[in-house]
Amino acid sequence: MSPSGTGDDPRPDVELRLPADSVYVAVLRTTSAGLAARLDFTLDDIEDLRIAVGEASALVLAEADDGSDLHCAFHLGSGELTVSVTVDSAAPATPDEDSFAWQVLTTLANEASSSAEDGHFSVSLTMRSALQPPA
């Protein structure tokens, strides 16, 4: 559920658009860490999130069309943060679930998924604070 109380509202609480270039991943990682701190994630949770967001970004950037943007959507919940990173991609490949990046992502995130549709490739991950009781 978003902080505004509209849990079924698909609109992200925070959106960020960057050039689809690895030099901008640091901005995305820092934004993710700042939002997680706002949700009272532990320092270990924040570092895990930063690493997971970096791996998700690496997966989508490999499939990005030249000159496209990296679109990032953040959905904030009570002790939970969902991050979706998306690029334009004419012919995205499904992530290799045996790859190092996917293994790191799925180990650190509570949930992770990918989708390729309508000329876009997206990887989403959800992290929950260790301080948040299990649902």
- 3 state DSSP class of 20: coil
Residue 134 has pLDDT above 70, yes or no: no
**For residue 1, what pLDDT is reported?**
35
The per-residue pLDDT for 93 is 84
* One-letter amino acid for residue 125 of the chain: L
- For helices 100-108 and 43-61, angle between their N-to-C axes, nearest 10 degrees: 150
Phi, psi at residue 34, to the nearest 5°? -65, -40
User: Residues 76, 77, 81, CA angle at the centre, nearest 5°?
Assistant: 55
Q: What is the pLDDT of residue 115?
A: 94
The 10s digit of each residue's pLDDT in 62-101 is 999 999 999 999 999 999 999 999 999 998 888 888 889 9
Q: How many CB atoms lie within 10 A of CB 80?
A: 19
Q: What is the pLDDT of residue 111?
A: 96
Integer Cα distance of 115 and 133 in angstroms: 29
Distance CA 109, CA 88 (A): 24
Q: Mean pLDDT in the chain?
A: 90
Q: Per-residue confidence at 10, pLDDT binned at 50, 70, 90?
A: confident
pLDDT at 3 (0 to 100): 42
pLDDT over 50 (residue 104): yes
Model pTM score:
0.87
Reply yes or no on whether the pLDDT at 27 is more than 80: yes
The CATH architecture one would assign to domain 14-128 is: 2-Layer Sandwich (3.30)
- Quickly state the pLDDT bin for 28 (edges 50, 70, 90): very high
Tokens of 6: 């509209």
Give the DSSP H or E segment for 49. Answer: helix 43-61
Identify which of 109, 56, 112, 111 has the alpha carbon closest to the alpha carbon of residue 87: 56
